[in-house]
């Protein structure tokens, strides 16, 4: 209780924290050790936010963001849009304790959206892609999930611990977000969903193997068989070797742990699974989605497979439709 009071006072006294953070529900959760608004510090102004975001995008996506410029970013995010975000969203950068390790996370809630006949909102855990610092979730990408929170959900996301084991002990970073989410005063602890993109899809399947109370999961371009994945992208061997403990000695065992195709029958039989994939995906071949869907069909697992013709890993051509499908899937199975 004393820690919570001191935490709240510190937030209220800080000149860099906006009013949204002072009211943030994160302050009441013991395992959250620090928190600040996405619109605090240099991000309080439009130009400061753009400059910060530019650095984040360059750092998170490396050569994939090589053509990004400040002007391109300003064309993508107008001052008007920034002001709308700042007014509508409680967006927080926070750190939380897992296994004695501090892990970074993000929180997003549209404070202008209320849930009818209920003061509590469903919770969505969002699992990012990438590994290590590559793919680390920028604020802009978190805000890109606005269609979900605009539909009345609260979202939490993990950046995964610095010692990323690609589905090893870092899985606890995802699982603990569910615990944290249930402690938030504005979420319904009985209505928890999970969405994962790319590597995050793998994390989502692994988390669902352990959590039997999830209402739905969505895997967006997620790998489902990591050993077979090597035949399509042999360069992933370097990621596996560099991140997965005991990989050289127990390659098959470790990849099996991370491959839902090897243990799909262990998922809760009533768990509704939405699978989204583009058939022009060059990062994770669409066969990962289609083969798993066949297996789920044989298992009588409730699921829906959507393959977007000609679309890529990020479903750029159908992103709006993809978010609509996710929201509809969660609302259908609440």
**From residue 185, how far is each of 24, 27, 34 by CA, in Å?**
10, 10, 17
Place of tokens 């892609």: 129
Question: pTM for this one?
Answer: 0.92
- Closest among 128, 76, 85 to 110, alpha carbons compared: 85
Q: Answer whether residue 10 shows pLDDT above 80.
A: no
Per-chain mean pLDDT for the chain? 92
pLDDT average, residue stretch 281-288: 96
pLDDT band for position 64 (50/70/90)? Answer: confident
Domains parsed from the chain with CATH numbers: 89-332 (3.40.50.1820)
Q: Answer whether residue 3 shows pLDDT above 70.
A: no
Q: Answer whether residue 272 shows pLDDT above 70.
A: yes
Q: Answer whether residue 14 shows pLDDT above 80.
A: no
Tell me: the pLDDT tens digits for 191-242? 999 999 999 999 999 999 999 999 999 999 999 999 999 988 999 999 999 9
Q: Is the dihedral of CA 205, 206, 207, 213 positive or negative?
A: positive
Tell me: the pLDDT tens digits for 65-119? 999 999 999 999 999 999 999 999 999 999 999 999 999 999 999 999 987 776 8
pLDDT band for position 4 (50/70/90)? Answer: very low
pLDDT average, residue stretch 161-177: 97
């Amino acid at each position: 209780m004393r820690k919570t009071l001191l935490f709240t006072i510190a937030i209220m006294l800080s000149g860099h924290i906006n009013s949204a953070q002072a009211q943030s529900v994160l302050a009441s959760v013991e395992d959250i050790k620090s928190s600040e608004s996405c619109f605090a510090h240099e991000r309080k102004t439009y130009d400061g936010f753009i400059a910060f975001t530019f650095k984040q995008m360059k750092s998170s996506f490396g050569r994939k963001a090589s053509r990004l410029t400040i002007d391109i970013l300003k064309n993508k995010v107008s001052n008007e849009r920034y002001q709308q975000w700042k007014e509508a969203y409680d967006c927080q950068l926070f750190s939380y304790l897992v296994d004695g390790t501090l892990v970074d996370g993000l929180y997003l809630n549209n404070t202008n959206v209320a849930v009818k006949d209920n003061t509590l909102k469903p919770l969505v855990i969002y699992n990012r892609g990438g590994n290590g610092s590559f793919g680390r979730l920028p604020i802009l990408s978190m805000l890109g999930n606005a269609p979900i929170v605009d539909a009345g959900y609260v979202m939490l996301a993990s950046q995964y611990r610095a010692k990323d084991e690609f589905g090893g002990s870092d899985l606890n970073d995802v699982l603990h977000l569910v615990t944290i989410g249930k402690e938030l005063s504005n979420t319904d602890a009985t209505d928890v969903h999970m969405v994962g993109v790319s590597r995050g899809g793998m994390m989502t399947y692994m988390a669902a193997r352990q959590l039997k109370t999830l209402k739905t999961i969505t895997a967006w371009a997620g790998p489902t068989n990591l050993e077979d994945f090597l035949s399509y992208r042999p360069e992933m061997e370097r990621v596996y070797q560099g991140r997965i403990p005991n990989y050289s000695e127990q390659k098959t065992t470790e990849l099996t742990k991370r491959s839902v195709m090897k243990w799909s029958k262990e998922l809760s039989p009533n768990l509704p699974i939405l699978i989204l994939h583009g058939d022009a995906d060059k990062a994770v071949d669409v066969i990962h989605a289609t083969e798993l869907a066949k297996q789920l069909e044989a298992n009588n697992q409730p699921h829906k497979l959507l393959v977007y013709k000609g679309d890529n890993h990020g479903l750029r051509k159908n992103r709006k439709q993809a978010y609509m499908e996710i929201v509809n899937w969660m609302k259908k199975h609440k």
